[in-house]
């Protein structure tokens, strides 16, 4: 059994689509960081996306926990040419593509970006390897909205639209356990 504690990084305050851009997190809410640190298991291993907002959040909650190397495959969705643009701009440019991408996640991708199915395959592969390498441990995985939803979708066995119905707040924890032959989901979007 391996327990995953999926933590969404601290807020960036960007009002645009932020995928692979390396924006810093606002980690000034020291009380929220302390509550998150105290909520997570003391002996868990900590791993994060290689993007600054995730690595800095991981450092802020790490404490005495062992840190694993950052992993680029834990990055957020690659939004391609939509990166750092707001939804109204994207929708005005290509309303059909914007609607298809969010309303029917799957094989539709933003220009020069990746589809939801590609994100799921990328993230599933790294999570599976982390489970193989650290079976029986608690893993704190500091990542992004999309990354967390890929694992919610997989563990619940739901489609992408249902996965997207879940809210994932900054500095929240989603608990998922891998039992070897099945998944179970604890709290989703718990804000300690």
Domains of the chain plus CATH, in order, are 2-185 (3.40.50.1240)
Is residue 153 a contact partner of residue 120, using CB atoms and an 8 Å limit?
yes
Tell me which DSSP letter residue 20 carries.
Answer: S
Q: pLDDT for 13-44, tens place per residue?
A: 999 999 999 999 999 999 999 999 999 999 99
Does 9 qualify as catalytic in the annotation?
yes
Active-site entry in 71, 76, 78, 83: 76
Name the residue among 86, 76, 74 with its Cα closest to residue 19: 76
Question: To 10 degrees, what angle do helices 52-62 and 30-39 make?
Answer: 70
Judged against a pLDDT cut of 90, whether residue 189 lies above it is answered with yes
Q: Which long-range contacts (CB under 8 A, 24 or more apart) does 100-104 make?
A: 102/164, 103/161, 104/161
Active-site entry in 9, 78, 144, 178: 9
Q: pLDDT for 134-157, tens place per residue?
A: 999 999 999 999 999 999 999 999
């Amino acid at each position: 059994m391996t327990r995953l504690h999926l933590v969404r990084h601290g807020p960036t305050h960007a009002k645009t689509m932020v995928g692979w851009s390396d924006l810093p997190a606002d980690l000034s809410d020291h009380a929220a960081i302390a509550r998150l640190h105290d909520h997570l298991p003391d002996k868990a291993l900590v791993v994060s996306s290689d993007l600054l907002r995730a690595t800095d959040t991981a450092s802020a909650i790490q404490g005495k926990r062992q840190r694993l190397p950052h992993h680029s495959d834990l990055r957020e969705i690659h939004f391609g040419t939509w990166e750092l643009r707001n939804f109204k701009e994207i929708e005005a440019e290509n309303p059909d593509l914007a609607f298809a991408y969010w309303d029917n996640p799957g094989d539709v991708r933003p220009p020069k970006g990746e589809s939801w199915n590609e994100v799921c395959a990328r993230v599933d592969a790294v999570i599976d390897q982390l489970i193989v390498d650290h079976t029986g441990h608690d893993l704190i995985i500091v990542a992004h909205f999309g990354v967390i939803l890929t694992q919610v979708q997989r563990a619940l066995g739901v489609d992408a639209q249902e996965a997207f119905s879940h809210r994932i707040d900054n500095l929240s924890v989603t608990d998922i356990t891998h039992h070897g032959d099945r998944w179970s989901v604890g709290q989703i979007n718990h804000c300690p």
